[in-house]
Structure 1
Amino acid sequence: MNRNRAIPAHKELAAGSFILNFLLGLIFVTFVILIPRHFLQPHHRGFYCDDETIRLPYMESIIPTYALVISLLTIPAIIIVLTEVYRSSCVIELYSWKGYNIGPVFANSFKFYGGNE
């Protein structure tokens, strides 16, 4: 397969929108955590220890916790890295920030979270 490759375009990235999005996300997460914890109270009601409807034997979990943590952290990371490596092989743009060259994987992540194009 013969692709005609043009001269790569050089683009400068700005950190302003990335920092703004990070701060807005931090504020949102803070409110999501703090509002329920400090302003909402759970409904408390009593129960009886001899109530047969709530007495069930303890069952071990089928999937161990370490397997869940490992799979939830590694599988998305592997998919993201493979996708970005593939995308970086197809894109011919060069990025820099304050005079330093930035790899396409980091630049695409920066554009995604910062909203820069």
Structure 2
Amino acid sequence: MKRTFALSTALLLGAFIANPAKAAVINGDFSAGLTGWDSLGDVAVSAGEARLSTASLDVDDFPAAAGAFNLSGNAAAPVGQPGGVETFAGLPLGQLDPDPANGGWAFEGSALRQTLGVQA
């Protein structure tokens, strides 16, 4: 998830620098919570930072209570399924799997995005 967020941020910053008069990041410091941002999964704002996790609301936090590590009350979103994290981030399904040839798959995650319109 960090890779997707970093890539999105880099693209957003590149668009902002390329044409600052036509595009602006809305609420880039999260001082207004998630206003101006689309989120999917377990996303919350704390101390001026957006925090994303892979925490579900299910019983997978054992020995802690179900949902103990969840930040927002929203379950992490699925990865590798239509309508999940990859679809939200505009990536092909399977793109977030770290090493599928050796059994390394992504299962769930969270994401933030903000869409900007820029003029060439």
Which protein has the bigger helix share?
A: 1
Same topology, TM > 0.5: no
- TM-score, normalising length from structure 1? 0.27
Greater share of strand residues, 1 or 2? 2
TM-score, length-normalised on structure 2? 0.26
Q: Which has the larger radius of gyration?
A: 1
